[in-house]
Amino acid sequence: MRLSDREQDGVVILQPKGKIMGGPDATLLHDKLYEYIDQGKKNVVVDLAGVDWMNSTGLGILISGFTTLRNNDGILKLANVTDKIQSLLTITKLVSVFEAHDSIEEAIASFND
Amino acid sequence: MNKPKIVGDTMTVPSDQEFLADVDTFLEATLRGFGADESVIADIAISVSELVNNAILHGNKAIPDKIVTIKLKRENNAVCISIADEGTGFDPSEVDDPLDDNNLLKEVGRGIFIVKSLMDSVDVQATNNGTTIVIKKAI
C-alpha cells in the first residue's frame, strides 16, 4: 500500500492506494491518520478510489479514526468507495456508520452542510 | 532470519505480518494460473489475509519461529485453500457477533465473519498442535 495526504479547504484528505491487509502497510495509514488527529484536525476524508481491497484490519483503522474524531467533535468520511469495499461495508453493517460520497469534492463540500 | 518458502502450490511463512504481501503475491499469481476472475481473486485474497493474520497473531502469537502454511488446490471448478498455524487451537465461535449493535464500532473481531461471508465453505480443525482452516470458493 502507498499513501498520500494533503489538506484542502481545511479538510485532511488521505489517499491510500493498493491493498490494506495488515502489518506495516496498515500501520502507515493508522499513524498518518493519528498524526493529523494529534494536530487537532477534525475533518478527514479517506479517498478509497485507489484501494483494490481491504480486510478487517483496514476496516478497524477506519473505525478507530471515526470514533476518535467523533469523540473530539470531528468526523471521518469516505469518498470514492469501490464496489468491493462497499460490499464489505454492507455485509459488516458498517455502511450504516460511515458517510460516503461519490467524490472528494462532494465530501469536502459536505462539511459545510 | 527465516524467509517465506514456496514449493509447488504450498507456501510457508514465519509468523511476521511483514510477509503478508508475499503471501498475497503468491496467492493471486496461483489463482490467476487457475483461471479465476479478478473479483473472485479479491474475495479469496481478503479471506486468506484474514486467516493468515489470525494464524500469525492469535495462533502463533507472532513467534517468528512458528510457521504458517498455506496450501492451494484446484478441485474441479473450485479452489480449496488451507491455512495452518502451530498454535494451541483457535475456536471461532468464541468471537462476538460483529453485527450486534454493541459490537459495531469495535475495531477487531470481524475477520472470521468476513471470511464466512465471502467463501462458499469454511471448515475449522482446531487441535492442541495448531489450527487448520480450510476454505473453498468456486472459480
Look at the alpha carbons of B28, B127, A56, B43 in this order and tell me if their dihedral is positive or negative.
positive
pLDDT attached to residue A24: 86
Among the partner residues B17, B50, B107, nearest to A23 by beta-carbon distance: B17
Beta bridge partners of A19: A53
SS3 content of chain B, % helix, strand, coil (to 5): 35, 30, 35
How far is residue B36's CA from residue B30's CA, in Å, rounded to a whole number? Answer: 9
The letter for the amino acid at A44 is V
Rounded to whole angstroms, how far apart are CA atoms B114 and B91? 16
Closest C-alpha among A23, A59, A100 to residue B107: A59
Give CA–CA dist A29/A39, Å, rounded.
16
Q: From CA B131, how far away is CA B110, in angstroms rounded?
A: 18
Reported as a single tens digit per residue, the pLDDT across B81-138 is 999 999 987 776 678 899 999 999 999 999 999 999 999 999 999 888 899 999 999 9
User: In this complex, is the C-beta atom of B4 within 8 Å of any C-beta atom belonging to chain A?
Assistant: no
Q: Nearest residue on chain A to B110, judged by CA atoms?
A: A56
Cell (9 digits) for B72: 492451494
Chain-chain contact of A55 with B104 (C-beta, under 8 angstroms): no
C-alpha distance from B125 to closest chain A C-alpha (Å): 22
Compute φ and ψ for A53, nearest 5 degrees. Answer: -165, 165
Reported ipTM: the value is 0.92
pLDDT in tens, B48-78: 999 999 999 999 999 989 999 999 999 989 9
B109, B120, B97, B98: which is closest to B43 by C-alpha? B120
* Chain CA centroid to CA B80, Å: 11
Sole residue written with cell 454492507: A90
Cell numbers 473472485 correspond to B40
pLDDT at B92: 66
CB B137 within 8 A of CB B123: no
Q: Which domains does chain A have, with CATH numbers?
A: 2-108 (3.30.750.24)
pLDDT reported for residue B133: 96
pLDDT of the residue at B19: 95
The pLDDT value given to residue B90:
72
The pair phi, psi for residue A75, each rounded to 5°, is: -155, 145
pLDDT band per the 50, 70, 90 thresholds, residue B1:
low
Mean pLDDT in consecutive groups of 10 residues from the start of chain A, 113 residues: 95 96 89 94 97 96 95 96 96 97 97 87
Q: Considering CB atoms only, which of B42, B53, B98 is closest to A92?
A: B98
The pLDDT score that the predictor gives to residue A26 is 86
**Chain B contacts of A96, Cβ < 8 Å?**
104
Residues on chain A touching B106 (C-beta within 8 angstroms)? 63
Q: Which of A56, A67, A97 is the closest to B111 by Cβ?
A: A56
Predicted local distance difference test score (pLDDT) of residue A5: 97
**Quick one: fold of B5-138?**
Heat Shock Protein 90 (3.30.565)
Give me the count of residues in chain A. Answer: 113
The shortest C-alpha distance from A9 to chain B (Å) reads 29
Q: Using the structure block, give the residue that is written with the C-alpha cell 482446531.
A: B126
Contact status of B40 with chain A (Cβ, < 8 Å): no
Q: What region does A9 belong to: left with phi over 0, alpha with psi -120 to 50, or beta?
A: left
Find the CB nearest A22 among B20, B45, B104. B20
